[in-house]
Structure 1
Amino acid sequence: MGSSPGLGTDLPAHVQELCTRAMEGAGVAMFVTGPRADEMPIVWVNAAFVRQTGFTAAEVVGRSPHVLETLLAEPVDAQELRAAIAEEREITHTVRALRRDGDTVWTQLSLSPLAGPDGSVTHWVGVQVDVSEHLERYAAQVASLALERRERAVLDVVSRSSDLLADLDQPYALRDITELLAGYVVDWAGFYLNDDGLRYAEGVDTAAPPTGRGQRHGRYTPGLFPLPTGAHATDALGDSAAVTGSVPRVRLVDVPDRVQDVLDGRIEGPVTLDLSATYPQWSASGWLQRDLHHRLSGLQERPGSVTVSAVPGRRRILGLLVTGDSGGSSGQGLGHGPDAEGRDGVRTLLQVIARRAGTAIDNVRLYAREHRLAETLQRAMLPEQADVTGLDVWTYYAPNSEHAQVGGDWYDVLQIAPDVVGLVIGDVVGHDVEAAAAMGQLRSVVRSYAYELTTPGPVLERVDQLVQGMRIPRSASLVYAALTQPDAEQPDDAWRIEYSRAGHLPPLLLRDGTVTQLDDAGGALVGFGGRSRSTGVATLAPGDTLVFYTDGLIERRDRALRVGLESLVAASAAVTAVDAAGVGEELLSRLADAPEDDVALVVVRIPDPVHDASAVVLSPRSRRWLLPSEPASIGRARHAVVRTCQAWGVRDSANAELVVSELVANGVLHGWGHLALRLFDTGDGIRVEVEDSNPAPPVPTDGHPNRMGGFGMQIVERLADWGWRPTASGKLVWAKLRPSDR
C-alpha cells in the first residue's frame, strides 16, 4: 500500500515506507478516512482491523464510514462520534461493537483529525483497542465490591434490628424495625401480630399469651359474618346454596387463603399477596388486603403486591412481616434492581429478621408472664395487718431493680391473740418464680404453726419437720418473734418479746441510744434444724424499738457482712425519730442508698407519750407505706398520718388526715394492686402521694344522685392543690395541703 496524501509528505521516502509498514503490522486495529467534505470514505485499514472486526479490506476500503456505525451496538455512541467530527476535535470513547459474525466486543475507539499544509482537515485516523478483557475484569471487581457492600449492608441491617429487638419493652420497637427496613431494603414494611386476630403492631403487647392460637380469619363460620354472595358463594357455601338460594346447614367450610395458611403453619412462606385480586371478606387475605390499601395510600408508588413472611414463635406463628416494593429502579436500597441474587439476599434477610423478631417477642412475653406471676405471688406475701393496738408498726419492702422486682424476702405481722402479736421476717435464696413460690409456702407454714403454738422455738421445730417433708427446693432463713402485751390490771407488767432464729441475722433492740443485738436462740437454716430450737426472751419498755431486717439492707460486695452489721448498729444508735416510720426512714437513708439485694425491714416501736412530746427529731421529713387494696387500709393510712404529724410537730393534722383518707379510699375503690402512700413535709405544707396500678385518672364528680358518695375529690380540692401523673405501673395522685397554722 502506498503513502496516502497528507501523511507525512515532507518525510523522506524510506521513512514514509517505514511508517506505512509499521502501521500495517501494528497489533492495534487502525483505519484512515478521507475528509468530511467527501463523506469520509475509508481509504486504508490494517491487518489488525481485519482480525478484530472480521471485515476484509476489500469490504470496507472506499466505502462510507456508515459501515462502521452499523457495528456500534449503542446509537448514542454514534451521536457522540458525529459531534466530535463536526467540531473537528479528537475523541476517545469506549463503545460496544459488533463483529461481522455477530459477537460483541468492547472497543476503545480513538479518532483524530489530520490537517494538510493549509491547516484544513484532510483525513481522520482511527485506532481501535479491544478492551473486553479489561472491562470484564473491571465488571467482576465491581460485582465483587457490590456483593461485599450488599453483605455489609445486610449485616448492618441485621445488627441494627437485633439492637432494636433487644429492647422490645419500648412501645414502638417494631415500628422502628420496619422504618429501618423501609429506608434500606424495601419501600414499605409492617408487622402484624395474631393476638386474637390480626392487628397492625408498632410494639409488643406483653400481656398477650405466649402460647395458644389467635383468631382464625380464613375459616367461615355461619352466623359470625354475612353470607357470601356472587362469584364466591359457590366456593364457600356449596353448589346447592348458590342454585336454590337456600340457607346452608351450619358447618365450617375451607376457602383458599394462603395468608391464613402461613398463620396456621401449613406452609412456610413467604407468599405473595396480590393487592388487586379479590378475596373473601372474612379471610385473612381479604382483611390484610383491605388494611394495606389504607396504609399504603400515602406512598407515591404503591406496590401491586406484597410479600408476606411468617413471624414464628416457639409453638406457633405469632404474626406476619409484610413488605412491599414498587420495583422502581431509582431506589438505592438492597431490594431494588433486577439482580436476582440481590432479591434472594433480601428475601433471606427478611426471613432472618422475622425469625429473630418471633423469638424476641416470645421471650419478652414469657419473661413478662413469669414476672407478673412472681410479683403477684410476692405481693400476696405482704401482711394484711400492719396496725396493732398499743404498738407503732412500720414495714418496708424494696426489690433490687436488677432482679425485675422478684425476690425471696418477706415479712409478716400477725395478731395471734388479743394480747399476742407475731412478727416474721425471712429470706429465700433466689430471685425468680421458684423463690417466690417457696416464700409463699414458708409463709403459710409459719402462719399455721404460729397460731397453733405461739412460742417461737416449738413453732420453728414444727416448721423444720414440715419443710423437710415438703422438700422445698430453696434454702431459707427467718426470725419468728412473739410480742406479749402487758396486762392492763398489772401496772408493773411490761411488753415481752420471745424469739427464735433460723439462720437469720439477729433483730436489734434500740433503747435510749443503746443498741442490743438479740442474738440468742440461734439455729440452722429452715429445714436443717436437727435439734430442738431454743427461745430467747427480752423485756421491753416504752420508747423501745425493735428492728427486723434482711441482709439486703447491709450486704455489699466490697465489705464483709460483719462490717455491714456494725454499720447498722452504728446507724441505729444515732436514730432520733420517735415513730416507727421515722426510724425506718433514718435507717434507709443511711444504709440503703444503693442496695445490691432485696431489702425488707420491719420496725416496731412501743410509744412513750411522756418523752416523745419533748424529743428532738432529726429524721427525714418524709414517710412511705405500702398498703393492701382493702377498706381496712383507709383507717391504717389515717393512723399513719396522725402519728407522722405528731412526730413532725404538726399541731393540726385533721386536714392531712382527711385528704389521705379520701385519696386512699379512691385508690381502694377504683384502683387495683397494692397502694403506695407517701408523705412529705415541704416546709410550707404537707404533700401526699398515693400510687396504684390503675392508669385511669381520678375525676371529680358532683356526687351520685339519690345515694351517698362521689364527693371525695371535691373534698380534696377544697383542702389542697392536687394533680396526677402516669407511672410505669399505673398512676400517682398527689395533693399539696394549703398552709395553715402549724
Structure 2
Amino acid sequence: MGRSPDLGAALPEHVRQMCADAIASAGIAMFVTGPRAQEMPIVWVNRAFERQTGFTSQDVVGRSPHVLESLLTDPVDAQQLRSAITEEREITQTLRLARRDGSLVWCQLSFAPVPDADGEVTHWVGAQIDVSELHGRYAAQVASLDVERRERALLDVVTQSSDLLVDLEQPFVLRDITELVTGVVVDWAGFYLNDDGLRYAEGIDASSPPTGRGRRHGRFSPGMVLPAPGSHETDALGDAARADDSSSGVPRPDVPDRVQDLLDGRIAGPVRLDLAAPYGQWSASGWLQRDIEHRLEVPGTTPTSLRVIAVPGRRCVLGLLVVALPDPTNAVGESALELLEVVARRVGAAVDNVRLYAREHRLAETLQRAMLPEQADVVGLDVWTYYAPNSEHAQVGGDWYDVLQIAPDVVGLVIGDVVGHDVEAAAAMGQLRSVVRSYAFELTTPGPVLERVDQLVQGMRIPRSASLVYGALIRPDADDPDDAWRIEYSRAGHLPPLLLRDGTVTQLDEAGGPLVGFGGRSRATGSAALRPGDTLVLYTDGLIERRDRALRVGLDALVAASSAVSAVDAAGVGEELLSRLADAPEDDVALVVVRIPDPVRDADVVALSPRSRRWLLPSEPASIGRARHAVVRTCQAWGVKDAANAELVVSELVANGVLHGWGHLALRLFDTGDGIRVEVEDANPAPPMPTDGHANRMGGFGMQIVERLADWGWRPTGTGKLVWAKVRPAPRSSED
C-alpha cells in the first residue's frame, strides 16, 4: 500500500494549533479513540461532547468506548456500529442516545477510521449532531400523515358503506358494513336491530314495521338519575353497587341500563358497555353483554372498550351499532366514533326506507289482490286471463280485466287501464271496475253501459283518467243450427281487440270513443260474428308499448305475432304472445284470451306453442274444478293422451291451496318431455304436511295421493311457498 501524504506536516505549527483549537471549540460534539488493537481507548473529546452527553473529559478519556456504547438505547444500532468498526469503514446513522442524567437525545453520528502514512488505522474520529428537534418535527409530520391517512380511510369507509346500502335486498348488507369497518376503524363491530327485542342482524328484515317500537327489556333501577340528553357519551356503568331486596333477600344489581335509555331515545349516546358490569339479567344492557361475550369467545378478541351507537329511524331508534374501538381516548378514536355515528344514521335511514317501501308494497299488493277479478268459467268457451304489474312499480298498477257471466246467454268481457302505477291508481281502478260491473249487469249492451259509466265517473271525480273496452259475447241459439257466437263491443280510448281466424288477424276498431268520463255524446256499439276456432284477444298497452318505438309499431308487432300463433287452446295463445312480446315489459300487462273450441279441427292440429301454461286462481272451491279443466285442455293441446294422473295431482294441490293457503293461487304446468310438472303457489309460507288420515277426521289423504302419482316437493318464495309435483307417466297396459 502506498504512503499517503502527511498533509498536517505541511501546515505551519500555528495553523495546526488554530485548527486544533477550532475543533475543540466547535459546536459539534467530537471525540477520538485509539486503534482497535488497543481496544480503542478514548483519547480526546471536545467541549461540545461534554455539553451534549453530560460526561466530562476526565470521565471518559483513557477509558474503553464501551462507555459510549452503553448510551445507545437500541441494540440494533450498537450491532451496526460494531460491524462498521470490524470492517474499518465509515458509518453515519441516526441514533437515540442516553445522556449521563438519563434523558434521551437523537443524534446523527458519523464515525470514521483515521489511517497513518502506511494506511494502518491508528485512530477513529467521531462527530455527533443533536437532531432531536428535527426528529421531533419529523415524528410530528409522520403522526400527522398517519392521522390524515386514517381519517381518509374513515371517510372511504363511509363512502363504501353508502354504496353497500344502495343494494338493500342484499341479505348480508349489514354484515358487509361491519366487515368493512373492522380492522380499519374498529377491532370489532356488530349491528343489532330492535325487532320485538334486540337481535343480532346481518341483513335488513323488510317485513318488520318501519318505525315500530321494539319490545322493552327489563329495567332494574327505576329511580336512577339520567344524564342530560344530548351528551356525546355516557358511561353505561356508572357507580356499580348492589342493594339487598328486602322482599326476597336476593342481591339486586343497581347498574343503570343506559342501552335501554339509548333505545328509548332518552339519551343521545354513544354509551359505554362494560363486559364486566353486573347488569340486570333482563335488561337491554345485560342481554347485549351476554350476546357479545358469546360472539367474542375467540381468545385475544375481548375488547378493552365497547361503544354502543344508536341506529336512528324517523320516529324512534331502530337498533344499535356496537363497536370495539382500539383507542377511544385519542383524537383518531374520537373522529372514528363520529364517523361511525354517520354510518349508523345512514343505516337507520336505509332500514326505515326499505321497510316503508315494503309496507307500501304489501299494502298495494293486498289492495291489488283484493280487486283481482273472479273469472267465471263459461260453458262452451276456452278462457284464459293474465295480469302482471310492472316489477319496477311496487307490484301494483291500474290495469284490470273481468270475465262475467251476465246472463245464461251473455258473457261480459272487460279490460281497462288507469293511468299510474301506485295505490291511487289501484284505488281508481277498483272504483271503475265496480261501476262497469254494475252497469254491465243492468244494461248489457256495451254502448249504453259506457254512457252510464261516463255520467257516474264525471260525478265521482275520480282523479285518474282511464281507458277500457267492454264487450258482450252472445251465445248462439241452441235451436238454430246456423246461429253462431257474436261479440258486441264499445271502446273508451282503448286499443282495439283482435280477432284471430285461420292465421288472419282482424282489429275490432269500430265503436271507438274518448277516455272514460270524457264522453259527451252517445257511445257506439260494434259487432262481429264468431265461429268455432276463432280467438278474441283483449289486452292493455303494456303488452306492446316500448320507449324506443311508437305505439303503432308495437300494435303492428302484436298483429304479426298473433298471425303466427299455432296453439289450439286459449292458454297456449296467451303464452305464445307473452313469449314473443312481453319478455321485458315496461308497463303493467293485462291479457284476456277467449277461444271458441273447434272439436273437429283441434284434434288434428299439432301445436308448436310454448310447453308451459299459467293461471291465477281465486282461493275458492270453484277453482279446483277450473284447474282440472285447464289441465285437461292443456294436455289435449300438447297431445298428452293420458291426463288422468295430472288432473288428479292438480286437483289435490289446488284443493290443498284453497283449504290451507292464503290469497290467490298461481297454477303453472310444464311439459318436461318425460312428464307433466305442476306448480301451485300461495301466500302461506307453512310447508304442506302429508298425514296418515283418520277414519273420524276429514282430510289427510290429499298429499298421499300426490305421493303415489308424482315426485313432489316445496320451496319458500318471497311471498309464501311453491309446491311442485312431477307426474309419473301412467304404466302401459298389457294391450298396449
TM-score normalised by L of structure 2: 0.87
Which amino acid in the other structure matches residue 379 of structure 1?
A: R
Q: Distance in 2 between matches of 1:81 and 1:620?
A: 83
1:143 aligns to 2:133 (yes or no): no
Aligned mate of 1:624, from 604, 614, 618: 614
1:675 positional shift: 1.9
Q: Distance in 1 between matches of 2:288 and 2:196?
A: 15
Equivalent pair of 1:392/1:607 in contact (CA under 8 Å): yes
The aligned counterpart of 1:729 is: 719
Equivalent pair of 2:398/2:421 in contact (CA under 8 Å): yes
Q: Distance in 1 between matches of 2:241 and 2:636?
A: 82
Q: Distance in 2 between matches of 1:220 and 1:473?
A: 55
Aligned mate of 1:371, from 340, 357, 361: 361
1:141 positional shift: 3.6
The aligned counterpart of 1:128 is: 128
The aligned counterpart of 2:384 is: 394
Deviation string 1:626-678 (CA, Å, 9 cap, x unpaired) is: 11222221110001111122223333322221111112122222332322222
1:480 aligns to 2:470 (yes or no): yes
Equivalent pair of 1:585/1:619 in contact (CA under 8 Å): yes
The aligned counterpart of 1:328 is: none
The aligned counterpart of 1:449 is: 439
Instruction: Summarize the Cα distance change of 1:116–1:549 in structure 2 as closer, same or farther, 3 Å threshold.
Output: same
1:569 positional shift: 1.7
The aligned counterpart of 2:28 is: 28
Q: Distance in 2 between matches of 1:255 and 1:104?
A: 47
The aligned counterpart of 2:294 is: 294
Instruction: Summarize the Cα distance change of 1:379–1:26 in structure 2 as closer, same or farther, 3 Å threshold.
Output: same
The aligned counterpart of 1:267 is: 267
The aligned counterpart of 2:656 is: 666
Equivalent pair of 2:446/2:488 in contact (CA under 8 Å): yes
Q: Distance in 2 between matches of 1:349 and 1:528?
A: 58
Deviation string 1:149-205 (CA, Å, 9 cap, x unpaired) is: 213322332232223222222222212222222243222211111111111112211
1:44 aligns to 2:45 (yes or no): yes
The aligned counterpart of 2:229 is: none
Aligned mate of 1:584, from 565, 574, 577: 574
Deviates more, 1:635-644 or 1:489-498: 489-498
The aligned counterpart of 1:516 is: 506
Aligned mate of 2:419, from 426, 429, 452: 429
Q: Distance in 2 between matches of 1:618 and 1:84?
A: 90
The aligned counterpart of 2:450 is: 460
Deviation string 1:57-102 (CA, Å, 9 cap, x unpaired) is: 7777858588985995847589559856985855533234577999
Instruction: Summarize the Cα distance change of 1:59–1:441 in structure 2 as closer, same or farther, 3 Å threshold.
Output: farther
Instruction: Summarize the Cα distance change of 1:132–1:582 in structure 2 as closer, same or farther, 3 Å threshold.
Output: same
1:246 positional shift: 11
Equivalent pair of 2:221/2:254 in contact (CA under 8 Å): no
Instruction: Summarize the Cα distance change of 1:244–1:355 in structure 2 as closer, same or farther, 3 Å threshold.
Output: closer
Deviates more, 1:427-436 or 1:309-318: 427-436
Q: Distance in 1 between matches of 2:564 and 2:416?
A: 26
Deviation string 1:550-599 (CA, Å, 9 cap, x unpaired) is: 11111122221112112212222232322211221222222223322221
Q: Distance in 2 between matches of 1:43 and 1:338?
A: 52
1:363 positional shift: 0.9
Which amino acid in the other structure matches residue 455 of structure 1?
A: T
Which amino acid in the other structure matches residue 125 of structure 1?
A: V
Give the secondary-structure state (helix, strand or coil) at the position aligned to 2:182: helix
Q: Distance in 2 between matches of 1:25 and 1:499?
A: 118
The aligned counterpart of 2:534 is: 544
Deviation string 1:419-478 (CA, Å, 9 cap, x unpaired) is: 222211111222222222222222222223323333322332333333333333322211
Equivalent pair of 1:381/1:411 in contact (CA under 8 Å): no
Which amino acid in the other structure matches residue 135 of structure 1?
A: H
Give the secondary-structure state (helix, strand or coil) at the position aligned to 1:468: helix
Deviates more, 1:574-583 or 1:366-375: 574-583
Q: Say what the alpha-carbon RMSD is for the aligned residues.
A: 3.5
The aligned counterpart of 1:157 is: 157
1:377 positional shift: 1.6
1:13 positional shift: 4.7
Q: Distance in 2 between matches of 1:377 and 1:171?
A: 27
Q: Distance in 2 between matches of 1:38 and 1:621?
A: 100
The aligned counterpart of 2:642 is: 652
Q: Distance in 2 between matches of 1:527 and 1:382?
A: 23
Which amino acid in the other structure matches residue 709 of structure 2?
A: L
Q: How does 1:147-546 map to 2 (within 5 A)?
A: 147-219=147-219, 242-243=245-246, 256-325=256-325, 336=326, 340-546=330-536
Instruction: Summarize the Cα distance change of 1:554–1:307 in structure 2 as closer, same or farther, 3 Å threshold.
Output: same
Equivalent pair of 1:195/1:215 in contact (CA under 8 Å): yes
Which amino acid in the other structure matches residue 432 of structure 1?
A: D
1:220 positional shift: 6.1
1:504 positional shift: 0.8
Q: How many percent of aligned residue pairs carry the same amino acid?
A: 74
Instruction: Summarize the Cα distance change of 1:647–1:80 in structure 2 as closer, same or farther, 3 Å threshold.
Output: closer
Structure 1 unaligned spans of 5+: 1-6, 223-229, 235-241, 248-252, 326-335
Q: Distance in 2 between matches of 1:486 and 1:220?
A: 81
Q: Distance in 1 between matches of 2:304 and 2:120?
A: 61
Q: Distance in 2 between matches of 1:146 and 1:119?
A: 49
1:600 positional shift: 1.0
